Amino acid sequence: MDLKGRDFLKLLDFTPEEIAYLVDLAADLKDKKKKGIPVDNFRGKNVALIFEKTSTRTRCSFEVAAHDLGMGTTYLDPSGSQIGKKESIADTARVLAGMFEGIEYRGYGQEIVEELAKYSKVPVWNGLTNEFHPTQMLADLLTIKEHFGDYKGIKLTYMGDARYNMGNSLMVTCAKMGMHFTACTSPKYFPDEALVKECEAIAATTGGSITLTDDVKAGTSGANVIYTDVWVSMGEPDEIWEERIHDLLPYQVNKAAMDNADANAIFLHCLPAFHDLDTKIGKEISKKFGINEMEVTDEVFESAQSLVFEEAENRMHTIKAVMAATL
């Protein structure tokens, strides 16, 4: 498998075999890290990490993974560069490609990261856009594979805002890997129809399937993985909280949803999560709307079924695999 020089912008661009290769490479790199076997044969290389939105996991994963591989990193924060304000994406791509061997980009529209890749002669990695979060998908697949031994045939139910980066990406991932994806939410939050059609066509070739339902009982029944994400994503206005709480509270991941899933079901969440009042926004929302937990209850988040911290760790191993494979 040779992915050298490839961009990593969305999983739609990769074959199931290529995706499986990246997950397996990540498992191998994780094993080596645990055993203290260094894999640092990328010494002398440098990567640029552009973050137009904030991050904990993705930034730390890119930095730790790059350092483990022997590389240097430069972090460009949401306000500290010329990008988009004084310099176009096309010019930024050509400047950075002259200094770095790879570029990570987190920001708004998918078209921005696609444009960056078009003008960059070095690989560009998508660290999250409004539409897709592909590095998160590899971490989720690794977590599922570690737990269930395989991902083929796994039933994954996504509850909440299914028409944004996480819902879209999980639907694509399930279609590609022969998994059964269910978006269990209000029809207002179903993924884009064209993307659903594209995923259905892919799923028809892999043995996967796509289901959209607003029925919690039917949607969670027999699921192996219950997945959710924040109800209001980065870059969305605060004014929409009220509407989202109203629309999505019926699709909160709580004990009833988990109990209706398969007896051995696991809970995943890309994080950060609003499951208690220990955050500034959590406290503000509680004061304003009287709810103490949002997309997932604290009971489920802290339960033995919740693998969210294993999943978070796997961000680093899988991002390392993406850089090692494409550089």
Q: Give residues in contact with ligand CP (CB under 6 A).
A: 55-58, 128, 136, 270-271
- The interface partner of residue 56, options being ligand CP, ligand NVA, none and the CB cut-off 5 to 8 Å by kind, is ligand CP
Binding site partner of 175, from ligand CP, ligand NVA, none, Cβ cut-off 5-8 A by kind = none
- State the binding partner of 185 from ligand CP, ligand NVA, none, CB within 5 to 8 A by kind: none
Q: Where do we find the tokens 């191993």?
A: 317
CB 317 within 8 A of CB 280: no
Nearest-approach distance from CB 165 to ligand NVA, in angstroms: 5
- Single residue of 166, 202, 225, 285 touching ligand NVA by CB under 6 A: 166
CB 200 to ligand CP: min, Å: 27
- What is the rounded distance in angstroms from the CA atom of residue 288 to the CA atom of residue 135? 34
Q: Which of residues 24-53 bind ligand NVA (CB under 6 A)?
A: none
Min CB(262)–ligand NVA separation in Å: 25
CA–CA separation, 288 vs 66, rounded Å?
Answer: 42
User: Any contact of residue 137 with ligand NVA (CB under 6 A)?
Assistant: no
Nearest approach, Cβ of residue 120 and ligand CP (Å): 22
Q: Which residue in the set 39, 95, 218, 234 belongs to the binding site for ligand NVA (CB under 6 A)?
A: 234
Residue 82 in contact with residue 61, Cβ under 8 Å?
no
What are the DSSP E strand ranges found in the chain? 46-51, 72-76, 102-106, 124-126, 155-159, 180-184, 209-213, 225-228, 266-269
Q: What are phi and psi of 76, to 5 degrees?
A: -110, 115
Q: For residue 183, state whether it binds ligand NVA (rule: CB under 6 A).
A: no
Q: Which residues are catalytic?
A: 106, 133, 136, 229, 270, 315
Contact call for residue 233 and ligand NVA (CB under 6 A):
yes
What distance in Å separates the CA atoms of residue 106 and residue 97, rounded to the nearest whole number? Answer: 17
**Closer residue to ligand NVA in complex, CB, 178/191:** 191
The b/e string for 74-104 (b: 16+ C-beta within 10 A; e otherwise) is eebeeeebebeeeeebeebbebbbeebbbbb
User: Is residue 164 a contact point for ligand NVA (CB under 6 A)?
Assistant: yes
Contact 153, 179 (CB under 8 A): yes
Give the footprint of ligand NVA on this chain (CB under 6 A): 128, 164-166, 229-230, 233-234, 270
